[in-house]
Amino acid sequence: MSKNLIIASTSTIYGSGYLEYLLPTLAKHFAECSEIIFIPYARPGGISHDAYTDVALKAFEKIGKRIVGLHTFKDPVSAILDAAGIFTGGGNTFVLVNMLYKTEVMPALRTILHQGTPYLGTSAGSNICGLTMQTTNDMPIAYPPSFKTLGMAPFNINPHYIDPIKGDTHMGETRETRIKEFHAHNDIPVVGLREGSWIQVANKKMVLHGEHTARIFTKGKDPFEIETGSLLSF
């Protein structure tokens, strides 16, 4: 009974292949799994479940792991409960969460992750590890029955975190302003995770990895940075 998750900001860093920067970490993380179930529900760019699964399959082949799409199972809940390892890819968080509720995979996933099934999330697949999906960057192109997500960490994730750009003339809100607005209505701490960063969750121990610092937002306080290698505690 020990959580075992990698919560990554992005699948892909600029100038590199899909999951490439994470493969050595994933070889260890999924050492005990020959087959990993891929949850393709977030459909980035609107691609099909099959096409998306193929992208994940090609990356995991490089570390000798078989990938099977969750959409190919008649009973996705049983498939999740029996999985040796699970990977949820990025795309649209609203579409993902809607499907996880519709298929009743959400509670099964929560149960099995608490029992220690190794998990990888990237982007939308990381958003769902937080208490709610309310700090996603995505458009609300589907209406899920709830914004509540897996609660594998006592905070929310903001993936693809990006700093305000000096001299930017665009008047849309910066990411920091958006998270400040979140805290005008909610108490949950938020971890702004830059591309190339990930959080490793080993039961209650949560450690920041990758080459960047992460930005921590808590209600009513100034945001601050934590170094890579640091423990996250709230």
Q: Of 104 and 163, which CB lies nearer to a second copy in the complex structure?
A: 163
Q: How far is the CB of 147 from a second copy (least distance, A)?
A: 5
Each as own residue / partner, the long-range contacts of residues 20-24 (CB below 8 Å, 24 or more positions apart, any chain) are 20/59, 21/196, 22/120, 22/198, 23/59, 23/62, 23/63
Q: How far is the CB of 35 from a second copy (least distance, A)?
A: 28
For tokens 């450690």, the residue is 207
Bridge pairing between strands 197-202 and 205-210: antiparallel
Q: How far is the CB of 54 from a second copy (least distance, A)?
A: 17
Catalytic residue from among 11, 71, 138, 209: 138
Catalytic residue from among 123, 126, 209, 212: 123
Q: Of 139 and 202, which CB lies nearer to a second copy in the complex structure?
A: 139
Bridge pairing between strands 119-122 and 214-217: unpaired
Binding site for a second copy (CB under 8 A): 10, 12-15, 43-46, 91-92, 94-95, 133-143, 146-147, 160, 162, 169-173, 177-186, 195
Residues whose CB is less than 8 angstroms from the CB of residue 153 and which lie 6 or more positions away in sequence, other chains included? 7, 129, 130, 131, 199, 201, 206, 232
Q: How far is the CB of 149 from a second copy (least distance, A)?
A: 12
Strand partners, 69: 38
Q: Of 83 and 97, which CB lies nearer to a second copy in the complex structure?
A: 97
Known catalytic membership, residue 160: yes
Q: Of 1 and 184, which CB lies nearer to a second copy in the complex structure?
A: 184
Known catalytic membership, residue 82: no
Cβ proximity of 211 and 199 under 8 Å = no
Q: Which residues are catalytic?
A: 123, 138, 160
